[in-house]
Amino acid sequence: MPYYLLVHNIAMYPESQDDWIDQWREIRKNAHGDVEWVHSFFDPAEGNCIASGKQKTWNQL
């Protein structure tokens, strides 16, 4: 199983949960292969979100 680290800046906050899920679906298209989203790490200072594939902690990256 390949590991992915997907990093993105939040350009626009979605209004609803459905919008948010749709937004994520688009982001995930940037990753190749069958990515299973597991965890997100947020940087509240910068508003960045780092989403990862299989790994659950930074130490496993």
Residues forming contacts to another protein in the complex (CB under 8 A) are 10, 13-17, 19-21, 24, 37-40, 42, 44, 47, 49
Which of helix, strand or coil describes residue 43? strand
Tokens found for residue 61 = 């990256």
Report the distance separating Cα 61 and Cα 21, nearest Å: 25
- Please say which residue, 2 or 56, places its beta carbon nearer to another protein: 56
The distance of closest approach from Cβ of residue 24 to another protein in the complex, given in angstroms and rounded to an integer, is 6
Least gap, CB of 6 to another protein (angstroms): 13
CB of 15: closest distance to another protein in angstroms? 6
Coil, strand, or helix at residue 3? coil
Alpha helices in the chain (DSSP H): 17-28
